[in-house]
Structure formats: C-alpha cells, structure tokens
C-alpha cells in the first residue's frame, strides 16, 4: 500500500465497465454481492463509446444519405446534403443516452462506481490509480475480481495513432468533416464497415489489405457480395499489399505499401485509417502481482466458468480471448457474477452469433459446412437466395443468401451463414434454433410471416430437407 492510500473492501471488484464489465457488475449487484466497478475512461467501454454503437449510428446515417440520393429506380430524386458535424453530434447524443443509462443501472443495482486505472497489488488487493496530477490512488481489497479491460486497436509500425492524419476507428467515427479521400489499411470487418460509411458520404476510399480478399475470416461466398457492392460504391481495393509508411505531401499525405516482391506503391489521401485488428488490454494491469497468467498473445486463459488460473479472479470479454464480441463479453460477465454468487452457471452455449454491418450485412452462427465435417458430423446444407425473396426485392436489396448447416442423420442445426439485408437480425432465429437443439424440420415447419426476409430462413431449411418450394432443391 502506498502511503496516503485509502483502503476499501469489496466482494467483487470489476475492472472495466464495457459490455462485459458493467453487465457482470449489475448481475453481481442483483445477486446481493457488494460490487465495485472501476473504469478508467467511459462507462460502456469501447462498444458503447467508440465501437459498435457509434459505428452503427454512422452506418445508418450514411446509408440513409446514400439511399436517398440513389433511389431513382423507385422514382425518387434527391440530392441529400450531409452536415458531418451534425451527424457526429447526433451519434454522440445516442452514445450519451446509452452510457448515462449504464451508469444509472449500475447505481440502481447498488454497484459502487470508481474512476481510475486498476493495477493488481497482490492476489486480493488492487490499486486504483486516479487520472491527473495529485489525484492519488486508493487500494481496494477484494474477495473476487473480474478482469474486463477489453481490447485496443493494433498499431502498424510507422503509423502512430497520435499523428493527426493517422486514425484508428475511434477517431474516424469522431471526424467533424467528411474527408475527401481516405486510405483504409485492413479489409477486415472494421475496415469494411467504415469503408462503406465514408464511401457513402462521398469520400474517395482506397482499401489496402495484406491478404488476398475482403473479410478474410469469412467464407468466400459470404465476402463476395460485400466486395461486389463495395466496388459499386467505387471503393478501390489493393490486395496482397502491406502498408509500410506515410508522409505528408502537399495538402495531404501519401501512404506507401509494399507487396511480397517488395514492389512499392503509393496512394495519396487526406487521412489514413488503420484497422488491422485489436489486441487485449492486459499489460496495464500488473496481472503478475496476482499470479494471473496470460498466453503469448496477451489473452487470459479461462475455464467454462470464466475463472482464470487464480480461483477467485475471473476474466471476461476481449481479454479472455476470441471472438472479441460484445455479446460474448456480456454473457461471460453474467456467468462470472453468477458463479461468484454460488449459482450453477457456466458458459455452455453451443454457438456465438456474429454480425458484420457491411453492405450487405453478414450474420453467422455456429459451424460452417467444413467445420461440421471436421468435427465428425455428416453435414447437409440448405440455401435460399434473397433474389427469390419477395420481401428482399421490395427493399431494393436482394443480393446474398441464407444458408443453414445441419447434421443430416439427426437433422440438428449446427450453423448458419447469412449475407444480405438484415442478416444481423435474421441470424438470431438460427442462433436460437441451435441453442434449443432444433432440427431442420423444426425450422421448416415453423410458419414464417409473409412477406418478410425471415421466410428465407424457413426456405433454406426446406431446401436442406429437399422440399423447398421457391427454389430448386439441391
């Protein structure tokens, strides 16, 4: 303990108030545990402040602007004018409402809120360092701790997020003006989502990707409609090239890339956005003082009850490993709190859904056909293209498909992949079906509302069973 420290005690110390941490804290509070939640920056974490929510706000706004200006086919002629500062202001309002809500919910559930950065001092003590000169620190003694410090963007050598024209996703979502041109380094989901936003707002977008396709983590046929649509929006792609540096030039910058053979290319732009992935924030915690181990990538290893190698210390969300998804973090937070309270809780979900908010959207859950095969199932797939969906055609977005993967002998659903309109919403039904242990027949025999996009889910299941109505069977 440092001289002058104030020491307090708590049942559960939650470090980090993102979607994992605040959910854990609230749940623990509901279970009558004494909870202290420490946050160094903003309640709601990356998700609410700099990630999911602001990006989705900007995607919606840019979609609206773009669609209004490109609806001649439907007889609509408009030329929307975008006031970027106001758009960002609206987005900030949404964020403020949500983060304020988190704070209120925490307090209403008896969660003690504390601002500062936590460091472990020992197995049962943490020091909370308050920001700013002379703010000092205090010590919290805990029975249990939940580490939920999340992740941060990975920097590429030569691109320092502190430099003005170099943006991380957080800075890109806070721009006051639409840049005229933008180089995006990385064609993963963050890069592709933001490429869509800025292209629709009128920015000249160039995407540079080291690998050979967009959305490298996804199957080719899912990524293809996204790339096709991006090209329609005049996004310029350069695959097989790694960003190696940048320099100021005239009224903008020049970004240099290099391919495997060492060939250098140069791209002029106003700004460069680096979105090559995220890394867990575990290096500021002094985990070693508590004896908590991390793997070579900095992730904390946990068991099915979110426990680390130290029994009373838990880790949830991005720090506990892939997939780095807010909803996974929240579920882990609930489980950690329940386990601490002595409830028979465990992380035994069958599948974690994921969504990419590109144009068109991608939604996935569970296994791909290949994964099912590798895991010893006898997979059968069923597919339904949105261009056979009445509702999809009436939205003006009929690219993409729904695909279901099931175990043929038993009919159990194992996974699903959707690319197309509202894929992020549609995937929920299939996630539910997988968790419930539903079979293809269960999904196919459930009446789906007509005319909706969700009919495509039913049709895909029917296709897998060999009796689809609106498509030719496999």
Partner 1 sequence: MVREFKLPDVGEGVAEGEIVSWLVEEGDPVTEDQAVAEVETDKAIVEVPSPVDGTVREIIPEEGEVVEVGSVIITFDVEGEEAEPADETTESATSEQSTESQTETAEEPEVSADEEVSTGEGRVFAAPSARRLARELGVNIATVEGTGPSGRVTEQDVRQAAESPDVQDTSGSTEGPSPMDSSGSTGGPSPESTGGATSGPAPESADRDRTLAAPATRRIAEEQGVNLNAVPATEQRDGEAFVTSEAVMQYAEAQQQAQQEQAETAAATPAGEQVERIQYKGVRKTIGDAMSRSKYTSPHVTHHDTAVVENLVDTRERLKPKAEEQGIRLTYMPFVMKAVVAALKQHPKLNAELDEEAGEILRKKFYNVGVATATDAGLMVPVVDDVDQKGLLQISSEVNEVVQKARDRSISRDELQGSTFSVTNFGAIGGEYATPILNYPEAAILGIGELKQRPVVEDGEVVAKHTLPISLSIDHRIVDGADAAAFANTFIEYVENPELLLLE
Question: Least distance from C-beta 346 to partner 1, angstroms?
Answer: 6
- Token readout for 368 is 């791909």
CA–CA gap between residue 408 and residue 465 (Å, rounded): 9
Looking at beta carbons only, is 118 or 340 nearer to partner 1? 340
Task: Choose the binding region for partner 1 from 123-131, 206-214, 371-379, 395-403 (rule: CB under 8 A).
Answer: 371-379
- b/e per residue, 281-304, with b = 16+ CB within 10 A? bbeebbbeebebebeeeebbebee
Check binding of 344 to partner 1 (CB under 8 A). Answer: yes
Angle value at C-alpha 327, between 460 and 211, nearest 5 degrees: 70
CA–CA gap between residue 420 and residue 428 (Å, rounded): 14
Looking at beta carbons only, is 359 or 429 nearer to partner 1? 429
- Near partner 1 by CB under 8 A: residue from 76, 346, 393, 445: 346
Looking at beta carbons only, is 183 or 336 nearer to partner 1? 336
Question: Least distance from C-beta 438 to partner 1, angstroms?
Answer: 8
- Near partner 1 by CB under 8 A: residue from 180, 248, 293, 378: 378
Question: Least distance from C-beta 382 to partner 1, angstroms?
Answer: 16
Looking at beta carbons only, is 63 or 442 nearer to partner 1? 442
Looking at beta carbons only, is 6 or 436 nearer to partner 1? 436
CA–CA gap between residue 198 and residue 267 (Å, rounded): 17
- Near partner 1 by CB under 8 A: residue from 137, 206, 257, 345: 345
- Near partner 1 by CB under 8 A: residue from 90, 161, 239, 349: 349
Question: Least distance from C-beta 140 to partner 1, angstroms?
Answer: 31
Question: Least distance from C-beta 295 to partner 1, angstroms?
Answer: 17
DSSP string, 292-316: --B-TTSPBP--TTSB-SSTTEEE-
Task: Choose the binding region for partner 1 from 55-63, 268-276, 406-414, 452-460 (rule: CB under 8 A).
Answer: 406-414
- Near partner 1 by CB under 8 A: residue from 2, 6, 108, 436: 436
Distances (CA, A) of 410 to 348, 379, 406, 414, 439: 21, 10, 8, 11, 7
Looking at beta carbons only, is 318 or 407 nearer to partner 1? 407
Please say if 450 is a catalytic residue.
yes
- Token readout for 312 is 């009373």
Check binding of 370 to partner 1 (CB under 8 A). Answer: no
Please confirm whether the linkage preceding 451 is cis (ω < 30° from 0): yes
Number of residues that bind partner 1 (CB under 8 A): 23
Task: Choose the binding region for partner 1 from 9-17, 139-147, 195-203, 373-381 (rule: CB under 8 A).
Answer: 373-381
Q: Report residue 394 CA to chain centroid gap.
A: 29
Check binding of 134 to partner 1 (CB under 8 A). Answer: no
CA–CA gap between residue 385 and residue 390 (Å, rounded): 11
Question: Least distance from C-beta 286 to partner 1, angstroms?
Answer: 31
Rg over alpha carbons for the chain, rounded to the nearest Å, is 24
Q: Report residue 75 CA to chain centroid gap.
A: 36
Angle value at C-alpha 186, between 150 and 383, nearest 5 degrees: 90
- b/e per residue, 239-256, with b = 16+ CB within 10 A? ebbbbeebeeeeebbbbb
Are the C-beta atoms of 278 and 109 separated by less than 8 Å? Answer: no
CA–CA gap between residue 111 and residue 107 (Å, rounded): 5
Q: Is 151 helix (H, G, I), strand (E, B) or coil?
A: strand
Task: Choose the binding region for partner 1 from 114-122, 134-142, 429-437, 452-460 (rule: CB under 8 A).
Answer: 429-437
Q: Following CA atoms 155, 159, 165, 170 in sequence, which dihedral angle do they give, to the nearest 10 degrees? A: 0
Are the C-beta atoms of 18 and 332 separated by less than 8 Å? Answer: no
Check binding of 463 to partner 1 (CB under 8 A). Answer: no
Check binding of 375 to partner 1 (CB under 8 A). Answer: yes
- Near partner 1 by CB under 8 A: residue from 109, 122, 350, 446: 350
- Near partner 1 by CB under 8 A: residue from 3, 261, 409, 472: 409
- Token readout for 322 is 């892939």
What is Dmax (Cα atoms) for the chain? 76
Question: Least distance from C-beta 414 to partner 1, angstroms?
Answer: 8
Task: Choose the binding region for partner 1 from 13-21, 162-170, 206-214, 409-417 (rule: CB under 8 A).
Answer: 409-417
Chain position carrying tokens 């403020």: 96
Task: Choose the binding region for partner 1 from 136-144, 229-237, 294-302, 345-353 (rule: CB under 8 A).
Answer: 345-353
Question: Least distance from C-beta 350 to partner 1, angstroms?
Answer: 7
Question: Least distance from C-beta 411 to partner 1, angstroms?
Answer: 5
- Near partner 1 by CB under 8 A: residue from 442, 448, 452, 471: 442
Check binding of 75 to partner 1 (CB under 8 A). Answer: no
Residue 38 pairs with which residues in a beta bridge?
Answer: 15, 114
Check binding of 348 to partner 1 (CB under 8 A). Answer: yes
Of the listed 144, 397, 450, 467, which one is catalytic? 450
Who contacts 164 (Cβ-Cβ below 8 Å, separation ≥6)?
A: none
Q: Which residues are catalytic?
A: 450
Question: Interface residues with partner 1 (CB under 8 A)?
Answer: 344-346, 348-350, 372, 375-378, 407-412, 414, 435-437, 439, 442
């Amino acid at each position: 303990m440092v001289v002058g420290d104030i020491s307090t005690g708590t049942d559960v110390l939650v470090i980090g108030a993102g979607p994992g941490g605040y959910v854990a804290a609230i749940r623990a509070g509901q279970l009558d545990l004494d909870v202290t939640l420490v946050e160094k920056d903003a309640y709601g974490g990356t998700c609410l402040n700099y990630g999911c929510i602001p990006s989705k706000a900007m995607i919606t706004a840019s979609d609206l602007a773009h669609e209004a200006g490109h609806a001649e086919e439907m007889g609509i002629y408009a030329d929307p004018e975008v006031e970027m500062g106001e758009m960002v202001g609206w987005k900030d309002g949404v964020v403020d409402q949500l983060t304020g809500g988190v704070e209120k919910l925490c307090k209403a559930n008896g969660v003690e809120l504390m601002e500062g950065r936590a460091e472990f001092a020992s197995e049962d003590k943490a020091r909370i360092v308050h920001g700013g000169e002379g703010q000092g620190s205090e010590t919290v003694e805990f029975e249990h701790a939940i580490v939920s410090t999340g992740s941060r963007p990975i920097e590429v050598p030569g691109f320092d997020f502190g430099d003005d024209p170099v943006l991380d996703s957080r800075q890109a979502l806070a721009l006051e003006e639409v840049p005229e041109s933008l180089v995006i380094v990385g064609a993963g989901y963050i890069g592709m989502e933001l490429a869509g936003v800025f292209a629709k707002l009128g920015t000249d977008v160039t995407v540079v990707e080291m690998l050979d396709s967009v959305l490298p983590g996804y199957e080719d046929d899912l990524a293809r409609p996204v790339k096709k649509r991006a090209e329609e929006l005049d996004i310029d792609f350069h695959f097989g090239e790694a960003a190696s540096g940048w320099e100021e030039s005239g009224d903008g910058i020049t970004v240099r890339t290099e391919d495997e053979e060492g060939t250098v290319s140069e791209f002029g732009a106003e700004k460069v956005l680096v979105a090559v992935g995220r890394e867990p924030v575990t290096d500021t915690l002094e985990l070693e003082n508590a004896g908590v181990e991390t793997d070579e990538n900095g992730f904390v290893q946990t068991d099915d009850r979110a426990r680390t190698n130290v029994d009373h210390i838990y880790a949830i969300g991005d720090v506990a490993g892939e997939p780095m998804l807010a909803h996974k973090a929240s579920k882990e937070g609930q489980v950690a709190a329940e386990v601490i309270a002595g409830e028979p809780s465990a992380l035994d979900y069958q599948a974690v859904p994921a969504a990419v908010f590109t144009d068109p959207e991608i939604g996935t859950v569970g296994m791909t056909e290949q994964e099912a095969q590798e895991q010893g199932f006898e997979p059968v797939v069923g597919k339904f293209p949105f261009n056979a969906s009445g509702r999809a055609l009436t939205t003006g977005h009929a690219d993409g498909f729904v695909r279901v993967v099931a175990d043929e002998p038993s009919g159990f659903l194992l996974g699903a992949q959707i690319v197309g309109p509202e894929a992020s919403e549609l995937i929920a039904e299939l996630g539910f079906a997988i968790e419930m242990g539903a079979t293809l027949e269960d999904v196919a025999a459930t009446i789906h509302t007509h005319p909706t996009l969700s009919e495509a889910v039913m049709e895909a299941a029917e296709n897998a069973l060999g009796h689809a109505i609106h498509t030719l069977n496999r």
